[in-house]
Amino acid sequence: MIKPYTNKFFVLLTVLGLFSTACRPKKAIVETGPLNKKELTELEKAKLKFEYQTDSTELSFDYFSGKAKAVISTEGREDNATINLRIKKDEIIWASVSAFGFEAARAYITPDSIKVLVRLGKNSYINKGFDYIQQMTNKKVDFKTLQAILVGNKVRNFVNPKDDFKVEDLFYIITGEDEGLKYKFNYNNQFKTDNFTIDNSSPDQHLIVSYGNYSTFNSRLVPLELSISSQTGDKKLGVYLRYNKITVNEPLEFPFSVPKRFN
């Protein structure tokens, strides 16, 4: 029976926001210094190049869809599924999880709400405002964070001038801490995220997200593999996705109807 695990997959989508509570990015202030202002160091030059390139390599899209094979693991058990993901930028994240040829669950997420319909076993329906995530975290969590993670774009909530920046073995590494969160982002030499970790000591929460096998879509790099590992206390949950089909900017539909018994 896959129901508990499909439920947990959609819960994981909301849990991702739990680790995305850093301050929003601030616009850099460019000051005009004296003519004899010292030249930038090599590290400062590398940082400027990194900031420019990570912005220019972002996947720009209006619509995104992907079909993926998934492995959902929890409590020592693994379940295989097929996931169809559709995104209308900044407006809708739609997902359908199928197993054994049948749809097990469907989700419809907007900046204002989260709806999940579980079709297997005892059918159930979840209908919450987006502040459901914020109640578990805080008001800084937003829809765009989840959207960025799913397509491999930069998680912009983690942009702070005080972060430590270094270049090591062809990786650009950013580490920082904010409001009890410790985070580390590793970017590859294509200026795309290779992996990142976020740790929260109170409560005891850990998140690891890794990407792999970047391929070009719409003239931008998109990861074909995505691995998410989440731990809260002694509870662990993992999701591995391998996209076998991706389309960008083809208009999509987002069907989601709720049986009358749930109205």
Question: CB–CB of 209/41 below 8 Å?
Answer: no
Domains of the chain: 3-24+45-254 (2.50.20.10)
pLDDT tens-digit series, residues 180-218: 788 999 999 999 999 999 888 766 778 899 999 999 998
Mean pLDDT of all residues belonging to the chain: 83
Nearest-angstrom CA–CA distance, 227 and 195: 9
**Is residue 129 scored above 90 in pLDDT?**
yes
pLDDT tens-digit series, residues 156-187: 877 788 899 999 988 999 999 887 788 999 99
Tell me the pTM. Answer: 0.81
DSSP code for 17: G
Return the exposure string of 234-252: e unless at least 16 CB atoms fall within 10 Å of the residue's CB, then b.
eeebbbbbbbeebebeeee
DSSP string covering 33-72, please?
Answer: --TTPPPPPHHHHHHHHHHHHHHHTSPP-SEEEEEEEEEE
